[in-house]
Amino acid sequence: MQTVRLALHAMATRFELVLHGEDAVYLRAAGEEALAEIKRLHRRLSVYDPTSEVSHINRNASETPVEINRNLFSLLQMASDLHHSTDGAFDITVGPLMRCWGFMGDSGSWPEEAQRKEALEKTGMDKVELDDSTCTIAFKRDGMAIDLGAIGKGYAIEEATTLLQECGITSALLHGGTSTMAAIGTPSPDEDGWPIGIADPLDQSHVLTSTTIRDEAFSVSAPHGKAFQKDNKIWGHVIDPRHGYPIQGPALSAVVHSSATVCDGISTALLAMNQTEVNKIAQKFNGMRILCAYSDNNVLNLVSNGFINKFKDSQ
Amino acid sequence: MTGKNVSRRAFLMGGAVLSGAGLVRAAKIKTRAWPGNRNDVNCGIIGYGPRGREITETLARVPGARVSAICDTYAPMLRRAQRDVPEATQHQDYREILDNADIQAVIIATPTHLHHDIVINALDAGKNIYCEAPMASSIDDAKSIARAARDAPNQIFQVGQIYRSNPQHLSVFQFMRSGAIGKPAVARGQWHAKESWRRASPNADRVRELNWRLDPEVSLGLIGESALLQMDVAYWVLGELPSSVHGFGQIMLWDDGREIPDTIQTIFEFPSGLHMIFDATLASSYEDAYEVYMGSNSTIVFRDRGKAWMFKEVDSLMLGWEVYARKDRFYKETGIALLANATQLDAQNLDPTEDDPNVETPLWYAMQEFMDNHAFGPYPPTANWERGLEATAIAVIANQAILERSHKKIDPLFYTLD
């Protein structure tokens, strides 16, 4: 048994791939093809590259329907489906709100009410028209933009994993920044799956729980990073696209599902949800495992569906 | 729905005109609607590997193009084609596409050594052709293609030497030709990546087909299959074709039974006396790909697929526009960004010192030129059969020099038809 490891820097993160098999030269060839696919998708989906298809959409879709490739159209349809499944908590048009709250390239600040309302007007997948017959996308408002950052990594991992499977790879793990990953088979024949530890959001040195994945994907999200203080309260960069305000959702969300794209999108959406909404999501997606950790005065309150190790499921 | 705008750049034969106020500023690109119905040109893609897919994705955004048929000899690629472009027909034999009278244009993105027969048959079938670079894997094949393309002047034959169509390159090309770098002294370039160049498939026959770049019988090696587009820019902007080449090649990392070197060094000699050093490797990605042209007044660097900067000698004259130009820091050096379309950006109240937000990829501009030619031509493309023949001859002789670790003269007759 041979092991090959490869890595790639793309989508502002480090992707790593480990493959097991009989022929190291072959494993590397397959792995390189998978990583090349991620690099290609990075170029297509990046909002920072003016030549990308997404930039092309953002420049033109407010003026005229923009014809796009069928597989990008399918991804946008999936984003639209996730938007509806999450009652609007997942939204790829949240960019204007993020800018309004100063979270684009800055640590954030409280906006004027008129600005917030204006940004909210430019936000919402319901203002995006996807026409299947012409394979076009159009924005109903000026100043709208899409950003696939919340599912792009999952999508790239899913596409790359498909390529690995087409190459006949039977044992591999591919992750992007350790937050989204997909597994093919198991690390060795005598194991149930690839073991994954989830760090405690209140103490990163401590493992909150662990699970295994096999021929499925995993994604974890947390509202780390940009935040500002107002009225003795910390306001983080997770904005609820439905209301246009930063929200106090879980300190961590984790999802296991057959699709890495769905995992990536849902784990992001869960950050904007209360416990009741989280339970609804678990019911909507068959076979999905969910863990959300809410912090209350430095005590974690856990909502779990299918994460069997330490916690009794909430259902 | 109205048609997308189409550039008249190709119609104007490379209209990146230098303005008096800023030598590197290209003239505003005029646009107009694609004449006739939208998606006028039915295109057939022959070869649906990574390059064929990239071209297909690009064509979706190019005015006037519609991908109507896709050919690949490998069933999983056709399944991918079905998913990507469900409205296109799928074929395992490219002759089915050539037999379809509704297809006006074919894009050939197969392995290099397969280009020849497909091009000849496609010209016979009356198709317009975009053929990926290198045009061929031997000088004989390249001459045969060139002859056939020359003898079919009413058909478009464009080679995938894409930087010839790129507004950024056209802009800097004219800047260099105006003598901005002074007396050219040294040219240098590199193409660096860390990858094995191997491809995988569970089908053993398919593995052999896929790994044609590692087959010494047909591959042009790193200089032909990876560095060719950069070399094409080099002799284009320098205005002369190389007369000889020294080559070296080694296997430095991927010692897996291959014979094709994973690391090469070349020195091209030009008739003016200028020498260009070019190296390529699959063992290290350091500094990616770039070309540098050093002259007595300044040095120009191309990198990031078409971006360019100028580094001035302290004793060179101040150029009026450089006061306003964007400066980028590179360790201890300061480069003046050479931006195409600055005048256009200025007219749109956009910052002319920033990168053009409407910029497209070099491949997009090449495809746009190909489509424009269907609307306004046929006229000889900027990368026509002559450019394809020159590039192939350089790649073939340089690859021989590399494999033999020798010095090879490049007979000027290689560059032309009898």
Collapse the DSSP code of B283 into the 3-class scheme (helix H, G, I; strand E, B; otherwise coil) and give the result: strand
> Does A102 map to a domain?
yes
In sequence order, the 6+-apart residues with CB closer than 8 A to the CB of A286 are none
| pLDDT tens digits for range B213-224 | 999 999 999 999
Residue A156 maps to a domain: yes
Contact A53 B61 (CB under 8 A): yes
Evaluate whether residue B159 is within a structural domain: yes
Q: B280 with B343, same domain? A: yes
B90/B196 same-domain check: no
Q: What is the pLDDT of residue B326?
A: 84
In a domain, B350, yes or no: yes
Pair B225, B121 in one domain: no
Say whether pLDDT at A225 is over 80. Answer: no
CATH number for the domain that contains residue B247 = 3.30.360.10
B276 and B212 fall within a common domain: yes
Confidence of residue B16 (pLDDT cuts 50, 70, 90): very low
Say whether both A207 and A313 belong to one domain: yes
Q: Are residues A132 and A155 in the same domain?
A: no
Q: What is the mean pLDDT of residues A17-32?
A: 96
Is the same domain home to B149 and B209? no
A205 with A266, same domain: the answer is yes
What is the distance between the alpha carbons of residues A284 and A218, in angstroms, rounded to a whole number?
Answer: 17
Q: Are residues B211 and B135 in the same domain?
A: no
Which structural domain range is residue B127 located in? 5-19+30-164+379-384
Average pLDDT over residues B93-111: 98
Q: Please report residues of A whose CB lies closer than 8 A to that of B58.
A: none
Compute CA distances B299 → B176, B295, B302, B322, B355, whole Å.
Answer: 10, 6, 10, 15, 20
- pLDDT tens per residue, range A115-129: 999 999 999 999 999
Are the beta carbons of A70 and B76 separated by less than 8 Å?
Answer: no
Inter-residue contact A228 to A106 (CB < 8 Å): no
Same-domain pairing of B149 and B44:
yes
Q: Is B306 domain-assigned?
A: yes
B70 and B143 fall within a common domain: yes
Distance (Å) from the alpha carbon of A254 to chain B's nearest alpha carbon = 30
CA contacts within 13 A on the Cβ side of A310: 11
3-state helix, strand, coil in chain B (%, to 5): 35, 25, 45
In a domain, A31, yes or no: yes
Share of chain A above pLDDT 70, in %: 97
pLDDT in tens, B36-64: 555 579 999 999 999 999 999 999 889 88
**pLDDT given at position B85:** 94
- Domain match, B306 and B190 both: yes
Does residue B414 form part of some domain?
A: no
Instruction: Let me know if residue A72 belongs to a domain.
Output: yes
Q: Which domain holds residue A307?
A: 192-315
Q: Rounded CA gap, A269 and A117, in Å?
A: 21
For position B307, what pLDDT does the model report? 86
* End-to-end Cα separation, chain B, in angstroms: 50
∠B126-B130-B135 over CA atoms, to 5°? 110
Weakest-pLDDT range from A117-121, A212-216, B95-99, B120-124: A117-121
Closest alpha carbon to B133 in B293, B361, B290, B363: B363
CB contact under 8 A, A40 and B50: yes
Query: Residue A232: inside a domain, yes or no?
Result: yes
Half-sphere exposure of B7 (CA within 13 A, CB side): 26
- Residue with structure tokens 């569970």? B202
Task: Clarify whether residues A3 and A83 are in a common domain.
Answer: no
Residue A55 lies in a domain: no
Domain check: are A170 and A21 in the same one?
A: yes
* B358 min Cα distance to partner chain A (Å): 7
Cβ separation of A53 and B57 shorter than 8 Å? Answer: yes
Q: How many domains does chain B have?
A: 2
The predicted structure's pLDDT at residue B30: 34
Q: Is residue B372 part of a domain?
A: no
Q: Hunting for tokens 């390059």 — which residue is that?
A: B51
Residue B321 is assigned to a structural domain of this protein: yes
Segments of B63-148 assigned E as strands: 65-71, 89-91, 105-108, 128-131
Q: Is the peptide bond before B378 cis (omega within 30 degrees of 0)?
A: yes
d(CA B222, CA A157): 29
Task: Quote the crossing angle between the two packed helices A260-270 and A70-85, to the nearest 10°.
Answer: 40
The half-sphere exposure of B32 on its side-chain side, counting CA atoms within 13 A, is 10
In a domain, B99, yes or no: yes
pLDDT for position B5: 38
For B226-285, write each residue's pLDDT tens digit.
Answer: 999 999 999 999 999 999 999 999 999 999 999 999 999 999 999 999 999 999 999 999
Q: Which of A86-100, B196-210, B331-345, B382-396 has the lowest mean pLDDT?
A: B331-345
CA angle B313/B318/B321 to nearest 5° reads 120
Residue appearing with tokens 């002859």: B147
Q: Which residues of A touch B1 (CB under 8 A)?
A: 64-65, 134
Please return the burial class of B94, using the count of CB atoms within 10 Å of its CB with bins 0-12, 13-18 and 19+: buried
The upper half-sphere exposure of residue B120, i.e. CA atoms within 13 Å in the direction of its Cβ, equals: 11
Q: Dihedral sign, CA of A154, A156, A159, A160?
A: negative
Once rounded to an integer, what is the mean pLDDT over residues A78-103? 92
Determine if the peptide bond prior to A65 is cis (ω within 30°): no
Asked whether residue A54 is domain-assigned, the answer is no
Q: Would residue A186 count as lying in a domain?
A: no
Closest CA to B414 of B249, B120, B398, B158: B398
Q: Which of B2, B76, B357 sits opposite A50 (nearest CB)?
A: B357
CB-CB under 8 Å, A67 with B61: yes
Amino acid in position A313? D
pLDDT band for position A28 (cuts 50, 70, 90): very high
Q: Can you give the CATH number for the domain in which A301 is found?
A: 3.10.520.10
> Considering its fold, how many domains does chain A have in total?
3
Residues B175 and B258 in one domain: yes
- The two tokens of residue A83 are 């938007």
Amino acid found at B146: A
- pLDDT the model gives residue A248: 76
Average pLDDT over residues A146-167: 95
Q: What is the pLDDT of residues B350-377, one digit of tens each?
A: 565 566 667 889 999 999 999 999 988 8
Q: Are residues A101 and A197 in the same domain?
A: no
Q: Is pTM beyond 0.80 here?
A: yes
Distance CA B50, CA B77 (A): 10
Q: Is residue A242 domain-shared with residue A115, that is, in the same domain?
A: no
CB A66 within 8 A of CB A139: no
Three-class SS state of A133: coil
Residue B370 lies in a domain: no
Q: For residue B304, is pLDDT > 90? A: no
Q: Does A28 touch chain B (CB under 8 A)?
A: yes
Torsion of CA A284, A290, A294, A298, to 10 degrees: 170
Task: Please give the full DSSP string across B350-404, using - where no structure is assigned.
Answer: S-TTSPPTT---HHHHHHHHHHHHHHH-----SS-HHHHHHHHHHHHHHHHHHHH
Please tell me which of the candidates A32, A67, A166 has its beta carbon nearest to residue B196.
A32
DSSP state of B27: P
Arithmetic mean of pLDDT over chain A: 90
Task: Quote the minimal CA–CA distance from B116 to chain A in Å.
Answer: 27
Is residue B96 a contact partner of residue B122, using CB atoms and an 8 Å limit?
Answer: no
User: In chain B, whose CA is at the least distance from the CA of A39?
Assistant: B50
DSSP per position, B207-218: HHHHTGGG-TTT
Of B57, B198, B359, the CB nearest to A29: B198
Residue appearing with tokens 């004989």 = B140
CATH number at residue A129: 1.10.3980.10
ipTM given for this complex: 0.87
Q: Are residues A26 and A81 in the same domain?
A: no
Are B138 and B239 found together in one domain?
A: no
Q: What is the β-pairing status of strands B275-281 and B184-192? A: parallel
Rounded CA separation B361/B298 (Å): 27
Lowest mean pLDDT among A154-163, B26-35, B62-71, B348-357: B26-35
What local confidence, expressed as pLDDT, does residue A249 receive? 83
Interface membership of B195 toward A (CB under 8 Å) = yes
Are both B233 and B284 inside the same structural domain?
yes
Q: What is the CATH number of the domain that holds B129?
A: 3.40.50.720
Indicate if A78 and A42 belong to the same structural domain: no
Tokens (6 digits) for A102: 């100063």
Tell me the shortest Cα–Cα distance from A76 to chain B, in angstroms.
Answer: 14
Cα distance between residue B291 and residue B176, in whole Å: 13
Q: Cβ contacts (< 8 Å) between A28 and chain B: which residues? A: 196, 198
A115 & A159 share domain: no
